[in-house]
């Protein structure tokens, strides 16, 4: 297979290359793609060095698969040009997520929504991915009525400029800012821009994408997304109200058996998920599982994952692997 990685020099794109290599993805030709500013750079992939090229050159090579992580504008302008040239495109931006004709996929949850003939697949938002992985086995068993989620999102979710801002502030030097406020030793209750209803775009992604992935617009979701001075790994405090009564021990069993989940829940031993332990891991970690004592059929959980891997790059490649397995590419 000829595989193009669009945005190969960015944070997510570089992790995509790493994950492709780690998982021995069956490619015969790697096509790293970036802007004209990065064109001509050499990147390492396995034992080879590969030159970064621009989108026009990549399109002319007619890749079989194109993994996009170069922002929404690039995806809107180029994704369908690649599909028209014969490629399957898996897009990591928000450009196509809510298009009713385009599957929005987390393979463990709703891979079966990809059908023969689908050429463009959307990868959900990082905070959505880790939440729905943890919610899916419980939704199947008990039916979810309502979700209240507060996120604690690392600066890598914003990009390399945000990482540099945090590093500059910790070193006491001035530099380019990704945020309107200081991020070191601070929490910013704003991820992305505000929408007319008072919620941010990040918060509304959690609402709308969760409903689409589960195929159920009756699920009520409300979110508060917060940026925290952590370099990698997103955390979420989630309160779930079910349609039916649940058994707390069975909840732990269901989560422990679900693909892609690690349950780490031993309060007596001070064991619970934290961002530092998820770095470089592809699983979603769940802990602090406890009954909501003041709401019928409600449960609290703490969910943590590496946002650059399962929240972006790994999920993208898992979609491609699923499509290969099902002979959809």
d(CA 297, CA 168): 46
3-53 residue pLDDT tens = 999 999 999 999 999 999 999 999 999 999 999 999 999 999 999 999 999
Per-residue pLDDT averaged across 194-204, rounded? 98
pLDDT value, residue 114: 98
58-98 residue pLDDT tens = 999 999 999 999 999 999 999 999 999 999 999 999 999 99
pLDDT value, residue 81: 98
- 127-307: CATH, from 3.90.1150.10, 3.40.50.920, 3.40.190.10, 3.30.360.10: 3.30.360.10
Where does residue 84 rank: exposed (0-12), middle (13-18), buried (19+ CB within 10 A)?
exposed
pLDDT value, residue 247: 97
- 2-124+312-325: CATH, from 3.40.50.300, 3.40.1380.20, 3.40.50.720, 3.60.40.10: 3.40.50.720
Active-site annotation holder among 118, 139, 191, 234: 234
Structure-block tokens of residue 240: 């779930």
Write the DSSP assignment of 197-242 as a string of letters.
Answer: TS-BHHHHHHHHHHHHHHT-TT-EEEEEEEE-S-SS-EEEEEEEEE
pLDDT value, residue 235: 98
d(CA 247, CA 177): 47
Place of tokens 């009525």: 145
96-146 residue pLDDT tens = 999 999 999 999 999 999 999 999 999 999 999 999 999 999 999 999 999
Reduced to 3 states, what is the DSSP secondary structure of residue 5? strand
Structure-block tokens of residue 200: 């941010």
Task: Please indicate whether residue 187 is annotated as part of the active site.
Answer: no
d(CA 184, CA 166): 6
pLDDT range class, residue 277, cuts 50, 70, 90: very high
Active-site annotation holder among 126, 139, 181, 191: 126
| Mean pLDDT score of the chain | 97
User: For the chain, what are the domain ranges?
Assistant: 2-124+312-325, 127-307
d(CA 97, CA 90): 11
Task: Please indicate whether residue 118 is annotated as part of the active site.
Answer: no
Crossing angle (nearest 10°) for helices 314-325 and 11-22: 40
């Amino acid at each position: 297979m000829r595989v193009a990685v669009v945005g190969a020099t960015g944070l997510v794109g570089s992790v995509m290359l790493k994950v492709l290599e780690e998982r021995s993805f069956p490619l015969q030709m790697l096509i790293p793609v970036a802007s004209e500013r990065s064109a001509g750079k050499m990147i390492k992939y396995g034992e080879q060095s590969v030159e970064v090229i621009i989108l026009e050159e990549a399109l002319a090579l007619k890749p079989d698969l194109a993994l996009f992580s170069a922002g929404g504008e690039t995806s809107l302008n180029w994704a369908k040009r690649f599909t028209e040239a014969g490629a399957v495109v898996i897009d990591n931006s928000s450009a196509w997520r809510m298009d009713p004709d385009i599957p929005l996929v987390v393979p463990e949850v709703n891979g079966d929504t990809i059908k023969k003939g689908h050429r463009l697949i959307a990868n959900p938002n990082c905070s959505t991915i880790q939440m729905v992985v943890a919610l899916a086995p419980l939704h199947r068993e008990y039916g979810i009525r309502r979700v209240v989620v507060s996120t604690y999102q690392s600066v890598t979710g914003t990009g390399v400029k945000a990482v540099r801002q945090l590093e500059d502030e910790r070193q006491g030097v001035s530099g380019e800012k990704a945020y309107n406020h200081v991020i070191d030793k601070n929490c910013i209750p704003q991820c992305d821009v505000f929408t007319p209803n008072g919620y941010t775009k990040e918060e509304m992604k959690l609402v709308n994408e969760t409903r689409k992935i589960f195929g159920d617009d009756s699920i009520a979701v409300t979110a508060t997304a917060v940026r925290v001075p952590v370099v990698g790994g997103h955390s979420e405090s989630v309160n779930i109200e079910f349609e039916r009564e649940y058994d707390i021990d069975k909840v732990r069993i269901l989560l422990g058996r679900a693909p892609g989940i690690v349950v780490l829940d031993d309060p007596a031993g001070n064991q619970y998920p934290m961002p530092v332990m998820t770095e470089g891991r592809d699983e979603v970690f769940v802990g602090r599982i406890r009954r909501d004592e003041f709401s019928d059929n409600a449960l609290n959980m703490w969910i943590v994952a590496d946002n650059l891997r399962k929240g972006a790059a790994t999920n993208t490649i898992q979609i491609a692997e699923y499509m290969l397995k099902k002979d959809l590419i």
